[in-house]
Chain A
Amino acid sequence: MLYDAGKILAGLAIFLVLVTAPIWWNVATGADAQAPELVMPQDQGGCVLPSGEMRASHMELLNDWRDLVVRDGDRIMITWDGREKRRSLTASCLGCHSDREKFCDRCHDYVGVTPYCWDCHITPIGGAS
C-alpha cells in the first residue's frame, strides 16, 4: 500500500529521469563518443611542445607566454625540437593552426570551454587552408 502514490511516484520518476538525463540527451542528439576531427597543420613541422603535452596544457603554456612577453619582453622561444619561434598567440599558434574554427574552436566546443582571448586577440583573415 502506497500513500499519496500519485504525487510520490511522479516525483520519483522526475528524479530518475533527471539523474539519467545524459543517456536520454545523447540518444536524442545522436551523439557518439568520438571527439571531433581536427585540421592539423601539414607542412610546418611539429608543435612547440610534444602534442600530448599540448593537448593537456596549452593553456598554461599560453599563460606563461603572455607573462614572459608582456612583463619581461621576452618574445623568442625555442621549441622542444630546437626551432626558434615567436611567443605569440596570433602569429605563432594561429600561424601554424591557421584555421581557428576547425582547430581551437572545434575542440573547445566539444569540451564546452570558451576562452575569452578572442575578445582582444585577432584571428588572421584568409588563413583558412
Chain B
Amino acid sequence: MRSLQALAIVAALCGIVMVAAVVPGFRPLLGIAVPYLALIVFLLGMTARVVGWARSPVPFKIPTVCGQQRSLDFLPHHKLESPFTSWQVFGRMALEVLTFRSLFRNTQSSLTAGKNLAYEPSKWLWAGALAFHWSFLVILLRHLRLFLEPVPRGILFLESVDGFFQVTVPTLFLTDAILVAALLFLLGRRLLDARLRYFSLPADYFALFLLLVIAGSGIWMRYFSKIDVVGIKEFAMGLATFHPVVPASAGVIFYLHIVMVGVLFAYFPFSKLVHLGGVFLSPTRNLPNNNRARRHVNPWNDRRPVEVHTYEEYEEEFHDKLKACGLLQEDGE
C-alpha cells in the first residue's frame, strides 16, 4: 500500500519532532535552525529548478490548444483557447493559473450497462483543487499578520472576509474548514477510486498527509489548545528580523507545526509541488499558436549546425540516374 508508506513517513517525522520538542535543548534547532534552513533550501531549490528549465531549449512551438486557431476571417478565432498574440497567451495563462481551466475540462470515462464506453464531464477534481489552492493561499497570506509589523490593512481585510460568519470564539476562518475538507476529498479520491489508487505514488499521498498534519496542528492551536499568540508573533518577528528567540509558552504541537512547514518548504522544489513555478514555464501553455505566421527557430540549430543536403545537391548527386528514368526537372521542361 503506497498510501501507507507515505503515512508511515509522515508519522515517523511527527514522532521524531514531538519527541525532540520535549527536550528544551532541541527547541532552538526545531524552531530556529529548521525554518531558516528550509527557507534557504526552498529559495535555492526553486532558483535551480527555474534556471534548469530556462536552460532547456524548446525545439518546437507546441501549445496544446482546444479552440479554433486564428485563420480566415469568417472562422471565429477562439482567443483564449488558441491564443495568437502574447496578450492572448497572458489571458490563457491567467485563466489556467487562477481558475485551473484545464482541470475544468476533466472528463470521466465509464462503461455503460450496454458495455459502451461513455465519457462525461467531471468537475469534482477541479472543485476540490480550486478549494484547496485558494484556501491555502488565503491562509498563507493571513499568517503574514505574525511576520509583519504593523499588520497591513489588506491582511486585516482578508481576515474579516474569512471570518465573515463571526461564529465561534476565536472567530472561525472559513478557509480553515474548506482547506481540511478539500484535503480530505483529494485524499479520499485517491484512496477510494481503484483507478486512481493504481497510479498514485507515495509522493502523491505524502504531500496530502503533510498538509493535513500542518492544517490539523494549526487548527488545534488556534481553536482548541489556545496558544499565546502574542508570544508566537514575537517569535515570528524574531525570525523575520534575524533576532530569533524560541517562544517560551509554546508546546510540542507548535514545534510540530513549524517543523512540518519547514519540511514542506524544503521538499517543495524537488517534488511535484514545484508546479507552482512549472506552470508558468510549460511550453504547451505559454506559447502562442502562431506557427504559420511566425517561424519558431529551433535553438539547437545555432549551436549545432545540422548538415543539410539541398535539393540542388541531391539532383547533382543523382543526376544521371534521375535523367535515365525521366525524373530530372530541367529548365524549360
The reply on A42 being an interface residue by CB < 8 A is: no
> What are the 9 closest A-B residue pairs judged by CB atoms, nearest first?
A112-B145, A31-B149, A112-B151, A22-B147, A63-B169, A33-B237, A22-B240, A57-B226, A33-B238
The majority secondary structure among interface residues of chain A is helix
Residues of chain A touching chain B, judged by Cβ–Cβ distance below 8 Å, are 1-5, 8-9, 11-12, 15-16, 19-23, 25-27, 29, 31-35, 52, 55-57, 59-60, 62-63, 107, 109-114, 116
Using A8-B50, A22-B147, A111-B145 as known contacts, say yes or no to A35 and B233 having CB atoms under 8 A apart.
yes
Using A12-B50, A19-B42, A35-B234 as known contacts, say yes or no to A26 and B226 having CB atoms under 8 A apart.
no
Contact B150 A8 (CB under 8 A): no
Interface residues of B in 205-245 (CB under 8 A from A): 226-231, 233-235, 237-238, 240-243, 245
Using A25-B148, A33-B238, A52-B249 as known contacts, say yes or no to A15 and B54 having CB atoms under 8 A apart.
no
Using A11-B280, A12-B50 as known contacts, say yes or no to A116 and B237 having CB atoms under 8 A apart.
no
Partner of B230, one of A4, A23, A26, A110: A110
Can you name 30 A-B residue pairings with CB atoms under 8 Å? A2-B51, A3-B54, A3-B55, A8-B53, A11-B50, A12-B47, A19-B39, A21-B144, A22-B148, A25-B147, A29-B148, A29-B150, A31-B149, A31-B241, A33-B234, A33-B241, A33-B243, A35-B230, A35-B234, A56-B228, A56-B229, A59-B169, A63-B169, A110-B149, A110-B151, A111-B145, A111-B146, A112-B145, A113-B170, A114-B156
Partner of A15, one of B46, B148, B156: B46
Contact with A along B275-303 (1 / 0, CB 8 A): 00100110000000000000000010001
CA distance A31 to B151 in the complex (A): 11
Residues of B in contact with A, size category:
35 or more
Across-interface contacts of B229 in A (CB, < 8 A): 56, 111, 113
Partner of A59, one of B55, B170, B234: B170
Across-interface contacts of A59 in B (CB, < 8 A): 169-170
Across-interface contacts of B234 in A (CB, < 8 A): 33-35
The reply on B155 being an interface residue by CB < 8 A is: yes
Partner of B55, one of A2, A20, A31, A63: A2
